[in-house]
């Protein structure tokens, strides 16, 4: 098939979370499986600064797009990598900035304008690229206007061939809700703005627009697809999603093992594998030395990587650790987020300098080193559409301790589910006491060498490769194409 992926971030060029990883891995896997693949993403300031180094070429393609009454000019830059055509949308005033969505903790005030312009650029490419995409796959609210733009172009006769659309919801909580006046920048008939269209309690909702007008919807795990149709996780869109339940498919994200592997990884000082685990112990010692912790191979090391936000469970993780650190454990944390939680983890470090190491910010190399060195990976999320860190930790032989929600349900096997196949630990109730009890269960296994060895072996054998996941997306695309042609 001929597939155009549209995303607001794309690894390794721009990234704030798993979206960038997912689209990058999906695109190159689809290309490897024989499909014609294009990916379109904004040309942010840091990418533009390295355009020459990255090998980007400016195309002879000038964008002239309307935003309400204004005409806005843009450019298209091109790179071929991993068998894909990657298109970067340039617009000096809108995208040549240090951040993707925000700066210094504050969202850019013109994000609606920025991503309406980007969505119109995606539509432009979908219509006029010489290879004529058959399918446009959009991701999250930033590109959720694209299905409506294409729908209108087909209905009005401006686009004279059928183009299918698929929307993947990575996190329903982020919807892109703005004043109704923002809809004017779409230059679409106001008939699309209503309770059965883009309107949401009097406002314009980007994500709802995509949910209503896409041919098919996917989420990033089967469990999350179920959860968002209920009131607790539905973020006020569960009713709309229920209306489209026959078009909603949960597909568990894959892990990019080209990047996340233990044998050919420049971020790791020592390689290791299931056949030879000595390198994992050496990586543990190297990390302890690097972060100033006592170099003790016997002490259980717990790692955590991610945003310091309540979604990720930091509000229950800190109290649980306050109890557990009285015992003989070490904890390493990498991430940033709420100033309140950053301060609290730094207080833990001050209180237990020989047991806690903290890195505020993001460091890709350190993320690999923590995942490789740790014995357990803590991921007590309040909700988790898919999660990738638990998959990475499994491949690295680091047993995940997760809350049973979303993709964490689908990707981790607890001993209560199967003693012989268990590869991690789950708890259900969202509170620090239940998390602490699960940590104690994990430590009991750690001090039972045969059980720990079996679980670590199961973890490293778990396979979330993108080859399987991409074929599931291809099946969705094919069902859409049958519907629209």
- pLDDT tens string for the chain (485 positions)? 999 999 999 999 999 888 999 999 999 999 999 999 999 999 999 999 999 999 999 999 999 999 999 999 999 999 999 999 999 999 999 999 999 999 887 899 999 999 999 999 999 999 999 999 999 999 999 999 999 999 999 999 999 999 999 999 999 999 999 999 999 999 999 999 999 999 999 999 999 999 999 999 999 999 999 999 999 999 999 999 999 999 999 999 999 898 999 999 999 999 999 999 999 999 999 999 999 999 999 999 999 999 898 999 999 999 999 989 999 999 999 998 889 999 999 999 999 999 999 999 889 899 999 999 999 999 999 999 999 999 999 999 999 999 999 999 999 999 999 999 999 999 999 999 999 999 999 999 999 999 999 999 999 999 999 999 999 999 999 999 998 88
Residues 185-190: contacts with CB under 8 Å, at least 24 apart:
185/67, 185/68, 185/112, 185/113, 185/116, 186/116, 186/145, 186/148, 186/149, 187/66, 187/67, 187/68, 188/148, 188/149, 188/152, 189/152
Kind plus residue range of the DSSP H or E element containing 153: helix 146-156
How many domains is the chain built from? 2
Residues 131 and 243 in one domain: yes
Specify if 430 maps to a domain.
yes
Range of the domain at 385: 278-463
Residues 293 and 250 in one domain: no
Residues 135 and 238 in one domain: yes
Residues 323 and 231 in one domain: no
Residues 238 and 334 in one domain: no
The dihedrals phi and psi of 308, each to the nearest 5 degrees, come to: -85, 80
Task: Specify the pLDDT at position 18.
Answer: 85
Specify if 381 maps to a domain.
yes
Return the C-alpha torsion angle 415, 418, 420, 422, nearest 10. Answer: -50
Task: Specify the pLDDT at position 337.
Answer: 87
Residues 215 and 306 in one domain: no
Residues 94 and 108 in one domain: yes
Residues 237 and 313 in one domain: no
Closest residue by Cα to residue 277 from 452, 399, 397:
397
CA distances from 394 to 252, 346, 362, 458 (A): 15, 27, 21, 8
Residues 83 and 178 in one domain: yes
Specify if 268 maps to a domain.
no
Residues 296 and 357 in one domain: yes
Residues 182 and 315 in one domain: no
Specify if 263 maps to a domain.
no
CATH code (residue 141): 3.40.50.2000
What spatial distance separates the first Cα and last Cα of the chain, rounded to whole Å? 14
Kind plus residue range of the DSSP H or E element containing 343: helix 339-351
Residues 474 and 458 in one domain: no
Closest residue by Cα to residue 96 from 14, 22, 38:
14
Specify if 353 maps to a domain.
yes
Residue 134 three-state SS: coil
């Amino acid at each position: 098939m001929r597939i155009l992926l549209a995303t607001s971030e794309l690894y390794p060029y721009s990234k704030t979370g798993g979206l960038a990883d997912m689209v990058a891995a999906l695109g190159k896997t689809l290309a490897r499986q024989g499909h014609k693949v294009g990916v379109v993403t904004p040309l942010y300031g840091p990418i533009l600064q390295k355009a020459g180094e990255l090998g980007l070429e400016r195309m002879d393609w000038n964008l002239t797009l309307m935003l309400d009454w204004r005409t806005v000019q843009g450019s298209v830059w091109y790179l071929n990598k991993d068998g894909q055509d990657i298109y970067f949308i340039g617009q000096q005033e809108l995208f040549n900035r240090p951040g993707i969505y925000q700066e210094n903790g504050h969202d850019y005030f013109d994000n609606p304008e920025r991503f309406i312009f980007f969505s119109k650029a995606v539509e432009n490419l979908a219509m006029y690229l010489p290879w004529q995409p058959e399918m446009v796959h959009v991701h999250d609210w930033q590109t959720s206007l694209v299905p409506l733009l294409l729908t209108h172009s087909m209905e009005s006769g401006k686009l004279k061939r059928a183009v299918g659309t698929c929307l993947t919801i990575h996190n329903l909580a982020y919807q892109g809700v703005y004043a109704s006046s923002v809809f004017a920048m779409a230059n679409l008939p106001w008939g699309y703005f209503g309770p059965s269209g883009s309107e949401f309690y009097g406002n314009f909702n980007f994500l709802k627009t995509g949910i209503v007008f896409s041919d098919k919807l996917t989420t990033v795990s089967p469990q999350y697809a179920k959860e968002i149709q209920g009131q607790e996780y539905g973020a006020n869109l569960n009713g709309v999603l229920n209306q489209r339940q026959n078009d909603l498919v949960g597909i568990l994200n894959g892990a990019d093992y080209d990047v996340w592997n233990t044998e050919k990884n420049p971020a790791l000082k020592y390689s290791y594998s299931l056949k030879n685990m000595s390198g994992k112990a050496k990586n543990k010692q190297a990390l302890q030395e690097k972060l100033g912790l006592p170099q003790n191979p016997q002490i259980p090391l717990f790692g955590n990587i991610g945003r310091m936000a309540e979604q990720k469970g930091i509000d229950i993780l800190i109290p649980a650790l306050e109890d557990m650190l009285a015992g003989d454990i070490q904890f390493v944390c990498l991430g940033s987020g709420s100033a309140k939680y950053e301060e609290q983890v730094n207080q833990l470090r001050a209180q237990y300098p020989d047991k806690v190491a903290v890195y505020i910010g993001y460091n890709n190399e350190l993320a690999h080193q923590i995942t490789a060195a740790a014995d357990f990976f803590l991921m007590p999320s309040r909700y988790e559409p898919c999660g990738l860190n638990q998959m990475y930790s499994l491949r690295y032989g680091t047993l995940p301790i997760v809350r049973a929600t979303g993709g964490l349900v689908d990707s981790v096997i607890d001993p209560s589910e199967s003693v012989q196949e268990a590869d991690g630990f789950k708890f259900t109730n969202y509170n620090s006491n239940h998390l602490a009890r699960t940590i104690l269960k994990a430590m009991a296994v750690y001090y039972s060498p045969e059980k720990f060895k079996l679980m670590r072996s199961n973890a490293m054998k778990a396979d979330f490769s993108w080859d399987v996941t991409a074929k599931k997306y291809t099946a969705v695309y094919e069902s859409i194409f049958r519907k629209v042609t």
